Structures are given as structure tokens and as C-alpha cells.
């Protein structure tokens, strides 16, 4: 069925993402961000990278659930936490 419905990589990608990507909630990313701790043998740079990635994920999750008029405030708050 997928072969008949897809004639480009973009269409295949959409179908794969809809069926196989892991989707986490805003709460999940907020919890991960606020509970993140530097590992015992982890460098500061590596830990900082991890925090940056978590904030990016948190921003994206906020964009998915916030109303348009709420997005600027939510993103501003997330940026302030960094």
C-alpha cells in the first residue's frame, strides 16, 4: 500500500515519521531538562551540549502544544532558564 501511495522521498519520510518516531510530551522534556545532572566523568562542554539539546527539544515540544499567542512567552521562559 505504501509503495502505491508514495512517489517521492518526502512522502516516504512523512509516513515513516508518523509511524516510527518517538514523540514525547512537553512534561517529558521539562522533567529531563530540570533533572539533568553532569555525569561523574562528563566534561563541562559535553554536559553543556546535552543541556542545549534538551532545551531545543523542550522548545520544539512547546511549539507543538502552545497556542500561537502563547509561543513567544513559552520560548522566552525556556530561553531564560538557559
What residues does each domain of the chain span? Answer: 23-81
Given a contact cutoff of 8 angstroms between Cβ atoms, the answer to whether 24 and 64 are in contact is no
What is the pTM assigned to this prediction? 0.64
Enter the C-alpha cell of residue 56: 531545543
Per residue in 37-64, pLDDT (tens digit) is 999 999 999 999 999 999 999 998 899 8
In this predicted structure, what is the pLDDT of residue 2?
A: 62
Residues 6+ apart with CB under 8 A from 3: none
Q: Write the CA distances from 71 to 38, 46, 54, integer angstroms.
A: 29, 29, 18
Amino acid at each position: 500500500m505504501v509503495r502505491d501511495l508514495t512517489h517521492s522521498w518526502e512522502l516516504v519520510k512523512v509516513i515513516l515519521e508518523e509511524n516510527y518516531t518517538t514523540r514525547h510530551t512537553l512534561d517529558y522534556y521539562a522533567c529531563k531538562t530540570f533533572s539533568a545532572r553532569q555525569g561523574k566523568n562528563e566534561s563541562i562542554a559535553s554536559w553543556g551540549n546535552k543541556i542545549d539539546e534538551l532545551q531545543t527539544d523542550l522548545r520544539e515540544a512547546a511549539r507543538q502544544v502552545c497556542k500561537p499567542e502563547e509561543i513567544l512567552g513559552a520560548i522566552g521562559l525556556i530561553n531564560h532558564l538557559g
